[in-house]
Structure 1
Amino acid sequence: MTAMPMGARPDPTMEEGDAAADLYIEEARVAAYLQRIGAAHPGRPDAAHLRELQFAHVRTVPFENLGVHAGEQIELDARSLVDKIAKGRRGGICYESNGAFAALLATLGYRVSLLSARVFVGDGFCAPFDHLVLRVDTDGSWLVDVGFGRQIEFPLNLDERGEQPGHDGAYRIADAPEGDLDVYCDGELQYRVESRPRALTDFATACWWHTHAPQAHFTQNLVCSLPTDAGRVTLSGQRLIITEGGKRWSTDLAEDAALAAYRDHFGILLDRLPRVRAPRSAQD
């Protein structure tokens, strides 16, 4: 597949399954994004470069929900999502990270589809649009997910039913009813993916719920997390959690030290610590 020229608008006759028109971004935003994640321009949209781009994103863009408690509104459009990551040097939840990464890939010439997924929570699946993942078609078909809590570092082959080893575990894709696919990690079901391509706007209601509803996980907790060569580093408010070689250390930090930890571990510059903010309906 030939890469689309930077900043070009997509052909409105593109078939369903190609990246939607509203995913394309300008060349300057692509350059800023690549600089942010420390990746070179891929030159061609193939599977090898997709793997490199995903790894670079996951190792530099944290999974975080700080904006939920700072009163920030998530704008589900490609430019806003990319600007938060590339210019604001922030991370985000699934709708933000996977939405922005989809925009980058689409503009680089990859064929990208946005897919709805339902996270498995132990006694069943969450509602549709609970999670956003990507299907990328190049040298085969790949599941790409840079916005899940554990941040999958490499694309998963959608046609493979055996184990696919990753840095954080062994993944497996299994067929599910109605053409859906189940994603497992180390034998534990993570989520179920639908096959129908969606638009960013289709996720707006679920995104609002996750960032405003009093019973939503993201409104009750603070998280900022990145995988490392040895394991993972996570900051939840003022609690720093380091995982290395299967061992876990937890330390409560003073305010100044916590601000420094956001800067040093995640590259996030804050003038004050984020605090869990109760949703408005919970305050009534």
Structure 2
Amino acid sequence: MDQAEVERLAGGPPRLSVEEICHHPRIAEARKVFLDRFLALYSGDPYTIRLLIESGRFLVYHIAGVLDAGVDPARRETWLTITRLKQEMSRFGLASDRHIDGLIARLCSAGFMDLKPAEQDRRVRILKPTEKLKSHDRDWLAAHIAPLEVLFPEHDYSAVMEQDRLFHARYRRISILFLPLGASLLLSLPDSMLFFNHAAGAVVQAELLRSAMSAPGYPDGLIPGAGIGERFGVSRTHVRQLLVAAENAGLVRLSARGNGSVQVLPRQWASYDRGMATGMYLHDLIYVATEQEARSMERQEQGVLINGPW
């Protein structure tokens, strides 16, 4: 997606850039806020972690929520069918059709989604995110907007932070337009994808970085790696395999003495901040576009009240 298309969708030039966010003098403070909010979202809930925190699994839930916000019962092409979900998932190339079918079944059995015949055509089955999933998504979005509040307090993000349900529904409906941009941005972050492509990889990475930020010698100090995944229900073997892959990518250094210590390397700090900044850039784009739509609808409603419906 070129810059002109981004500006068309956003209603004008983006007010933030990835570079501006990434090199903000308070980026470490924003990172700490994000890590705390993100980990609190999943702390003590190993089942949800296993169900939602991995690239293919997360995208099934995330894209389903986005598409559901744009459903118009009178327009069949907007219905959230499994086929339509798979079509949007194909942009990311992170899950096979069979994998998606299995994930949908698990989301339904866990109470995150329903799969029922369409009222307009009983032959067609429609996916519907439940309130349980929508509530989780409101918390998830607030965690990702929180660091923007730290860096840019002059911008008002209260609608998401206070979990305004109408604003959230509009935000998710407008997010449909930004799915191609989101796919290209996500796939441009290989270091982030290394963790994201592993079950619970994102929370293991977040816990690793948060521990490193509070350890003596930050940002170069050693931290114990053995217990990183325990509170998320992740085995030590799985964490060890993930850390070995991260070491091979130049993101961490594992202790040669075999005591399980880990050092987060400069490349990991830099790539995590860039990934976080990329997400913040996208969220701000959608936030501004949502605000513009809300103001436009308010003006239209005021015009009807003043001039009458005819």
TM tier, smaller: under 0.3
Larger radius of gyration: 2
For normalisation by structure 2, the TM-score amounts to 0.24
Point out the structure with the larger helix share.
Answer: 2
Higher RCO (CA 8 Å, separation ≥ 6 residues): 2
